Every structure is written in structure tokens, then in C-alpha cells.
Amino acid sequence: MMSTRRFAAVLLLCACVHMTQADIEYDDYEAGEKVPEGGTEVDPRGHRPVSRGGGGYTAPRQGPPPVSGRGSYRVRPTAAPLVPKGEQEKDVQPDAGGCTHASVQMGLLCPTGCELKTALLKQESNVRREVQKLKREVDELSRSSNTVVTYVVDMSNNLRERQQVRNENGNTVTEYTGELEEQHAYVKEVVDSGFPSNIRLLQSVLEKMRQKIQKVEKAILAQRDECKEPCSVSCPIPVVSGKECEDIFRRGGRDSQMYLIKPDSFLPAYKTFCDQTTQNGGWLLIHNRMDGSVDFGRRWDDYRRGFGNVAFSVGKSQCQTPGEYWLGNDRISQLTKMGPTEVLLEMQDWSGGKVFAQYRQFTVQGEASNYQLAVSGYSGTAGNTFLDGANELFGENRTMTIHNGMMFSTYDRDNDNWIPGDPTKQCSREDGGGWWYNRCHSANPNGRYYWGGAYTRNMAKHGTDDGMVWMNWKGSWYSLKTMSMKIRPFFEE
């Protein structure tokens, strides 16, 4: 009997333990990992908490390793003696002397009158609405004037009839007639002087509006003629060129500015910005965010081709200031598969603080593999989000923020690790840009640009951390001021 009671007690205890474990959320951290102080769940990912067995999460993909080995570059040779400018041999490039062949896919690289054309068209629409409103008012006033004139004519006839029976009605008729004459005189003065002046005033306003419309139409025609020709920038492309920015550096292009590069002899050259000063130069800028002037919430084809403004001039002879742009996944893939490639990510907060993350190996596969990402060899001060995920998370919650091995996703091409095919669980749609999302991110360089840094769920479109974040530096709810990605061939210095 005692044995049966003991067995029942043990069974009841086991059932209680099982029921308690079933109620624990997933952020029941794995053995050996530290639970945050206070025992509260860390949820920096907006409204996407994870519970055991409820999310359909799969482990990060094991993609191909980054391209490694010895590349075509060795240690840079010592600098050659300077050649006087008059004796330097120059290669004539297709865009030398004017940069008149701007790439439509890369965005316009210069200011044009086309923006003025758009503004004038909008102004014309507003003017037309005002003119139509004035016309309706004039028509209404004309109808009112006709009614008053008819009324005056009737009163004049009545006055004549009253004058005929004046003798019969005596003083009463005389008083009434006097009042009627005064009213008649007043109304006649109003009709003869007031209404015509008001009508003339409205006609004058209408005529001025017509003249303005004619000027706008002439300006639109002039701008249309100007926009027939391709846009050109005021800063010419440098004469020196090469396969990429490291090649340009070794050929003597030591200034940081826009250059023309041609990585493949069978494909046309294109423009990009070269940073020739950071860490001894040779960096090709593939991504840049600085002021929110370019929308990064783009489709797959836009990210494939590239978009934005490569560079612009601030009054100097060359385009020495990079703009906001994405080089294009096809070009990034081609450049990183030419040989071992390193990547440098630089970022700045709204207080002037700066950090960086550098990976010695960085490769992006082709479109057939959905531009799968592979990195290794981290160093820097920003935190290793690509390989380690978000440091403030634990267990599966951290694993799901690792970016290495992920495919590229946009809001119209879902390749993330968050239940693929389910439109209600799509990282790119919620987080504002195209990126190598897992489920979802610890870094979001192509997210929405928030001025000032800190933002909240109420400010976010979907209540998620959709800003330009780097979680291992500033967390999920701080959008950085600037961020850039630069690549160059990896070689031992």
C-alpha cells in the first residue's frame, strides 16, 4: 500500500514539472549562457518574439565559404617617382571631359532642369484649379447681375405706372413715389457702378492668371527641349581607370573620388566611388547612407542593377563627395568572385561617435544562388553581427540574427529564414530594405532612415526595428546617421 502511494506521489511530481516546463517561453536560455539581470525577456525585435515550436525556424544555411587563397595582388610596390604633369601619359576614357554618358540604372549624377519641369507641372495643375474656381464665381456673379437688372427694369416700369396715378392718390402716392425713387436711384447706382467694377476686377485677375499659365507653358516647353539631351555633370571623370579601385590606386589614382572601372573586358565600364585614403586606400564603395535622400525600400531588380547617386561635386574639379547608392548585386557578386575580397563597414551615430567592422573574406554569390553571403575573419569595434548575431540575445534568438550564409531578400522576393512564402512573416517587407535577412537581423544597413537616432515602435511602419541599425553597437531602436560598405581585393600587406 505504501509503495503504491509513493509511486503516485512521484508520478504527480513529474506531471507538475512537465506542466511548468510547458509554460516557459523560449527565452529559457541554454545551459552555460547568462540570463539577463532581473530575469526579464530581451525583445529588441519589435513584435516578433519566439516561442518554442511555434515559429518554424530553421538553422542558418551552410553556404559556400568565401573565396580565399592568394589573389592577383601582392604587396604594393614602392611609389614611383613623380612625373611632371606635362610629361604624364594619359589614356583617353569614354567619359573623359564631361561625364556625358550617365548611367540611368545608377541614377542621375548631376542636377538638371527636369526637377523644375516637375515643379512647373504641379504649379500648372494648381493654377488651373484656381482659374476654374474664378470662372465659376464670375459666372455666378453674371447670373446675379442679370437678376438685379431685371429687377431694376421692373421697378422702372412700376415707377412709370405710379407716376400716372399720382394725381388720384394724392400725398400718399407722393410719399411712396419719393421713397421708390430713392430706392431706384440707389439700386441703379449700384448696378451701374459697383457691379461693372467688380466684374472688371475679376476679369483683370483672370487675365493675369491666363498670362501666368502661358508663361508656365513656355517654361515647360523650354525644359522639355532641355531634357531631350542626356544629363551631364560638371565634374569630369578622371583620366586614370582600372579594373577596380585597388588597380586604379596602383596606376596612380590617389584621390578619393568617382572613377570609371571595367572589371570585365566583355562588359561595359561603369562609375563608382573609390576611397583612396582609408587604410591606405583601394576601397570600392558598394553601399553608402548619409542623409536619407535615396529610398532603399526597392524591388529585387533595383537591387540587382543598383540605384542612387554615386557622387557629386561640392565646387571642386572632380566628384569628390560620395552620394547615397547601392552599387548593384550583380556588380558586387562579380567583384567579390574575382578573387579574395575584404569588406569594411564604417558607421557613425548622431553624436559623432564612429566604429567599424572589417571582414578579411567577403563573397556574394550570383543571382542563381540569390546572392548568398559568405564572410569570415572579423575585426573591428562595431561588433561581429554577421557571424555572431546580436550579443544581447541568447540561444535561438541570437542564432536567428546571424547574417552569414543568408540569401538576399527584397519585399518582392522573399528568401529569408522566417517561414519562406508566408507574406505575413517577411523580413524585408517589415524592415524597410533589401538585405541578407535571417529572421530577421542584427544589422540593417538598408533600413529606413530616421533623423536623430532613437526611434520607437510607434514611429516604425510595422512596429519593428526597421531603422538603419547595428545592434551590437547601438541596439535595435537607434538608427545610425551614416553607414557605408567598401570592398577591395585582399592581400597581405
CB 402 within 8 A of CB 388: yes
Could you tell me which residues come within 8 angstroms of residue 381 by beta carbon, excluding any fewer than 6 positions away?
A: 355, 356, 357
Average per-residue pLDDT for the chain = 79
For residue 480, give its domain range.
93-111+233-489
Q: pTM value?
A: 0.62
Mean pLDDT of 23-43: 36
Q: Same structural domain for residues 268 and 380?
A: yes
Distance, in Å, from the CA atom of 386 to the CA atom of 127, rounded to the nearest integer, reads 54
Distances (CA, A) of 285 to 68, 380, 478: 21, 18, 24
pLDDT band at residue 7 using 50, 70 and 90 as cut-offs = low
Torsions phi, psi for 435 (to 5 deg): -170, 170
Q: Same structural domain for residues 267 and 174?
A: no
Distances (CA, A) of 398 to 26, 44, 107, 326: 12, 11, 37, 28
Quick check: 290 pLDDT over 90? yes
In a domain? residue 392: yes
pLDDT in tens, 454-477: 999 999 888 899 999 999 999 999
Quick check: 319 pLDDT over 50? yes
Quick check: 236 pLDDT over 80? no
Tell me the percentage of the chain whose pLDDT exceeds 90.
Answer: 42
Torsions phi, psi for 202 (to 5 deg): -65, -40
Q: Which residue has the higher pLDDT, 104 or 453?
A: 453
Quick check: 26 pLDDT over 50? no
In a domain? residue 314: yes
Q: Same structural domain for residues 409 and 391?
A: yes
CB 73 within 8 A of CB 243: no
Could you tell me which residues come within 8 angstroms of residue 353 by beta carbon, excluding any fewer than 6 positions away?
A: none
Q: Look at residue 33 in the predicted model and tell me its pLDDT.
A: 37
In a domain? residue 342: yes
Q: Helices 114-164 and 166-189, interaxial angle, to 10°?
A: 170
Mean pLDDT of 406-412: 95
Quick check: 115 pLDDT over 80? no
Q: Look at residue 93 in the predicted model and tell me its pLDDT.
A: 47
Q: Same structural domain for residues 196 and 243?
A: no
Distances (CA, A) of 116 to 77, 111, 120, 203, 371: 50, 10, 6, 30, 38
Q: Same structural domain for residues 338 and 298?
A: yes
Quick check: 18 pLDDT over 50? no
Distance, in Å, from the CA atom of 118 to the CA atom of 289, rounded to the nearest integer, reads 26
Quick check: 17 pLDDT over 50? no
Q: Same structural domain for residues 211 and 310?
A: no
Q: Same structural domain for residues 201 and 297?
A: no
Give the domain-ending residue among 226, 253, 281: 226
Quick check: 145 pLDDT over 70? yes
Quick check: 10 pLDDT over 60? no
Q: What is the number of domains present in the chain?
A: 2
Q: Same structural domain for residues 105 and 118?
A: no
Q: Same structural domain for residues 382 and 282?
A: yes
pLDDT band at residue 126 using 50, 70 and 90 as cut-offs = confident
Give the domain-ending residue among 175, 196, 226: 226
Q: Same structural domain for residues 429 and 475?
A: yes
In a domain? residue 57: no
Q: Same structural domain for residues 318 and 419?
A: yes
Quick check: 19 pLDDT over 80? no
pLDDT band at residue 333 using 50, 70 and 90 as cut-offs = very high
In a domain? residue 15: no
Q: Look at residue 21 in the predicted model and tell me its pLDDT.
A: 39
Distance, in Å, from the CA atom of 54 to the CA atom of 300, rounded to the nearest integer, reads 29
pLDDT band at residue 228 using 50, 70 and 90 as cut-offs = low
Quick check: 59 pLDDT over 60? no
Q: Look at residue 220 in the predicted model and tell me its pLDDT.
A: 80
Q: Look at residue 390 in the predicted model and tell me its pLDDT.
A: 93
Quick check: 345 pLDDT over 90? yes
Please state which of the ranges 87-96, 184-193, 237-246, 333-342 shows the lowest mean pLDDT: 87-96
Q: Same structural domain for residues 457 and 330?
A: yes
Mean pLDDT of 406-429: 88
Quick check: 199 pLDDT over 90? no
Please state which of the ranges 95-109, 187-201, 217-231, 232-246 shows the lowest mean pLDDT: 95-109
Report which listed range, 26-30, 78-82, 309-313, 388-392, is most confident: 388-392
Torsions phi, psi for 261 (to 5 deg): -120, 155
Give the domain-ending residue among 226, 245, 265: 226
In a domain? residue 418: yes
Q: Look at residue 338 in the predicted model and tell me its pLDDT.
A: 94
Nearest to 337 by CA among 365, 359, 305, 360: 365
pLDDT band at residue 226 using 50, 70 and 90 as cut-offs = low
Quick check: 406 pLDDT over 70? yes
Provide the CATH number for the domain around residue 482: 3.90.215.10
Please state which of the ranges 34-48, 186-200, 237-251, 332-346 shows the lowest mean pLDDT: 34-48
In a domain? residue 300: yes
Q: Locate cell 506542466: which residue? A: 19
Please state which of the ranges 21-25, 99-103, 189-193, 297-301 shows the lowest mean pLDDT: 21-25
